[in-house]
Amino acid sequence: MKDQLLAKINDRTAVVGVIGLGYVGLPLAMEFAKAGFHVVGFDISTRVVAALSAGKSHIQDVPSAEVAALVTSGKFEATADPARLAVCDAVSIAVPTPLVKTRDPDMSYVDKATDTIAERCHPGMLVILESTTYPGTTRELVLPKFEAKGMTAGKDVFLAFSPERVDPGNEKYNTKNTPKVVGGLTPACMEVAYALYATCVDKVVRVSSPEVAELVKLLENTFRSVNIALVNETAIVCDRLGVDVWEVIDAAATKPFGFMKFTPGPGIGGHCIPLDPHYLAWKMRTLNYKTRFIDLASEINSQMPDYVVEKVAHALNDARKSVNGSRVLVIGVAYKKNIDDIRESPALDVIRLLEGRGATVAYHDPYIPRFREEGHERVGVPLTAAELERSDAVVIVTDHSSIDYQLIVDHADVVVDTRNATAGVRNPSARIVSLSTAA
């Protein structure tokens, strides 16, 4: 069966399925299709499926023209019918792995996706989990579902884990040119998973087990979380010392070895950095170990929106105004610059906290003209001189490149800049407040 599957992969007659057509799954599906495979993209959202079938992409990094061309050529089909997965020779699972309120892993999406495949699995199928999760998921959660069907890993079914490394909005690295880490449950599993990814990814990195591959992703984003927490705390330290945190970081970054530049901000966002370290922390709690670095980093990063709101409060107080009753304009609600993704965005926390203190909050984001949160729809406002002048304070949360920061500095009464976006913008009379006092 391994040889048969390898032959299908090599001559591109294998049918590849992708479960979950979001930020991870759709770019991956496109790469498989461009490599010559017929790809079955499955998603439970009929809206997403209908749009893709019409050649319209809902993901910023995937052009609609690319989707349309692959749909027209017959290389890609989108479906909400799980029965279509039965024709697949290989299936990649790219579904969400959120946290519940207690910050424990919510594995329901992975669980349901695996059940969907197991019910339709045929001998010789390759199943790869891409969703970020805790070490042991492939062996402890995925494998038993196929064993219950009488299948043996490496013989009747091939199971592997390959962590997604998608960075939305990154103009340099994408699914194709970002190295792909793969760990198989058996050598045979590793061989077929490697062969599949090698058809559409420039570099595939083999590791010895799914557990290694699962931990790789958690280490990558825990590394980022801890270092972001360090510079966020450094910003607070600089504020207390009356030192410009941006000057400190830029000077430290001139060292050609032993230092990697990270910058502070209003918190952390996206699906990975705020969540992934908690998967590792949860797993270690089950082994009676406390991950102190992870817990501390999470505590510091999660407090940054409060710190930003305190900055706004002090700035308004200096202008003899209170937060209660003031109009605050938030610039940027995406979790990072130049993308349209609000998942876990610290801007949402900043807005809630300001409104909790009695402020009237408006927002502007060129990438997100409107969004719905907890049943409430918010609509952005245009960035105009009049809009800026009628606001008591302007808070720059996301530093989109297309924002006219000179316009903000020239017309806003008070600017709280959490991203150093106004550096280099000239207006001697502007009142700009940074994350550290001296900036």
Which domain covers residue 300, as residue numbers?
209-439
Q: Which residues contact 384 (CB under 8 A, 6 or more apart)?
A: none
Q: What is the DSSP letter of 85?
A: G
For residues 139 and 247, membership in a common domain is answered with no
Predicted pLDDT at 338? 96
Number of Cβ atoms within 10 Å of the Cβ of 322: 14
Looking at 168, 191, 207, the residue that finishes a domain is 207
For residues 249 and 183, membership in a common domain is answered with no
Predicted pLDDT at 426? 85
For residues 43 and 26, membership in a common domain is answered with yes
Looking at 146, 178, 207, the residue that finishes a domain is 207
Whether the Cβ atoms of residue 414 and residue 392 lie closer than 8 Å to each other: yes
Looking at 207, 240, 260, the residue that finishes a domain is 207
For residues 129 and 249, membership in a common domain is answered with no
For residues 263 and 406, membership in a common domain is answered with yes
For residues 176 and 244, membership in a common domain is answered with no
Active site residue 272: yes
For residues 29 and 123, membership in a common domain is answered with yes
Predicted pLDDT at 439? 47
For residues 111 and 135, membership in a common domain is answered with yes
For residues 215 and 348, membership in a common domain is answered with yes
Radius of gyration of the chain (CA): 24
Residue 205 Cα distances to 123, 158, 183, 184, 397, angstroms: 26, 18, 9, 12, 36
Rounded distance, CA 424 to CA 434, Å? 13
For residues 404 and 426, membership in a common domain is answered with yes
Whether the Cβ atoms of residue 181 and residue 220 lie closer than 8 Å to each other: no
For residues 415 and 398, membership in a common domain is answered with yes
Nearest to 297 by CA among 273, 261, 279: 273
From first to last of the 439 residues of the chain, give the pLDDT tens digit.
999 999 999 999 999 999 999 999 999 999 999 999 999 999 999 999 999 999 999 999 999 999 999 999 999 999 999 999 999 999 999 999 998 878 889 999 999 999 999 999 999 999 999 999 999 999 999 999 999 999 999 999 999 999 999 998 899 999 999 999 999 999 999 999 999 999 999 999 999 999 999 999 999 999 999 999 999 999 999 999 999 999 999 999 999 999 999 999 999 998 788 889 999 999 999 999 999 999 999 999 999 999 999 999 999 999 999 999 999 999 999 999 999 999 999 999 999 999 999 999 999 999 999 999 877 899 999 999 999 999 999 999 999 999 999 999 999 999 999 999 999 898 888 899 999 875 4
Q: How many domains does the chain have?
A: 2
Predicted pLDDT at 274? 86
Residue 213: enclosing H or E segment and its boundaries? Answer: helix 210-241
For residues 188 and 314, membership in a common domain is answered with no
Rounded distance, CA 227 to CA 12, Å? 43
Specify the CATH number for the domain of residue 185. Answer: 3.40.50.720
